[in-house]
Amino acid sequence: MAQQKPLSLIAIVAITRTNGLGVNGQLPWRLSREMAHFRKATSAVGENEGSKMNAVIMGRKTWQSIPPKFRPLKGRVNVVISRQSGKEAEKELGISPEEHSHLVSSLDAAADLLGSSSTPSIYRTFLIGGAQLYKEAMERERSQSWSLDKLMITRIHSPAFEECDVFLPEFRTSDQIKEDERFAGIGNDEPAIGKLKPLPEQKWSAASDQQFDQFMGGPVSHGIEEEKDVRYTFQLWDRKE
Ligand code: NDP
């Protein structure tokens, strides 16, 4: 039998200049255009892909941070990772395979499920949080089961949202950090940059505007967005071989 290809994961996350991504189990910001970008990226299926759907994988806490009326995230196969299992846990968490939500015990189990006949055929798979799952995926080497190949980042330049209590591991070199700061019009001497731990060599490279548009199947805003006094930029990063 032919070996199945590893599941290719795309992590999608909004982060501050110091990689903060959440506070008290919630998002520190409420940005409707940013949410629309998330919805479009995670829902859109390429032309000629027939009845395929996208999948979103998340940790149990992120699942519970979504208001019950909005979950499962519609039009997508939702996979929730928890050490809890069984029908009782499904019931308690409001998870139901009939409505395209599934409870599994690990990222490996999520990859197995999405490659099986228990779900519709999958176009793209997004890891949508939270901090624990992003960290695990970013720190794991590629495996036979899955690999984290892309990062879709919303970089929030300001304000600093210093109250964040969970963070994404740094994935850029110091030159890449400086380039992000330059783009946002922020000087290198700002203290925030000193808190980061840059990688010694490049592990991820920023996709060009054209590659990003192609990935999204249409033009993406490449400038600085402003919403409720929050300034941010959409980015796509590719894992280097
Ligand atoms: P997670 O959403 O990562 O959920 C953690 C839970 O997932 C664990 O308690 C456990 O569930 C389960 N889990 C994690 N790793 C494993 C594993 N290896 N095996 C089995 N189960 C596992 O929680 P975090 O607290 O890390 O992140 C939530 C925060 O992230 C919130 O503030 C949220 O708003 C934010 N967030 C931000 C995003 C952004 O784009 N800025 C996007 C998504 C979330 P159990 O305890 O049931 O066993």
d(CA 72, CA 75): 9
pLDDT of 1 reads 46
Residue where the block lists tokens 């941070």:
65
Query: Coil, strand or helix: which one is 1?
Result: coil
Q: Region 68-77: what's the mean pLDDT?
A: 96
Q: What is the pLDDT of residues 19-56, one digit of tens each?
A: 999 999 999 999 999 999 999 999 999 888 888 999 99
- Average pLDDT over the chain, rounded to an integer: 93
Residue 183 near residue 206, CB atoms below 8 Å? no
Q: Label residue 117 by pLDDT band (50, 70, 90).
A: confident
Nearest CA to ligand 1 atom 7: 59
Say if ligand 1 is within 6 A of residue 133 CB.
yes
For residue 151 and ligand 1, the question of a CB distance below 6 A is answered with no
In the reported structure, the alpha carbon of residue 22 is separated from the centroid of ligand 1 by a whole-number distance in angstroms of 10
Which comes out higher in pLDDT, residue 150 or 1?
150
- For residues 118-131, give the mean pLDDT: 94
Question: What residue owns the CA closest to ligand 1's atom 45?
Answer: 82
For residue 65, which amino acid is it?
A: S
Class of domain 7-44+53-167+229-239: alpha beta
What ipTM did this prediction achieve?
A: 0.99
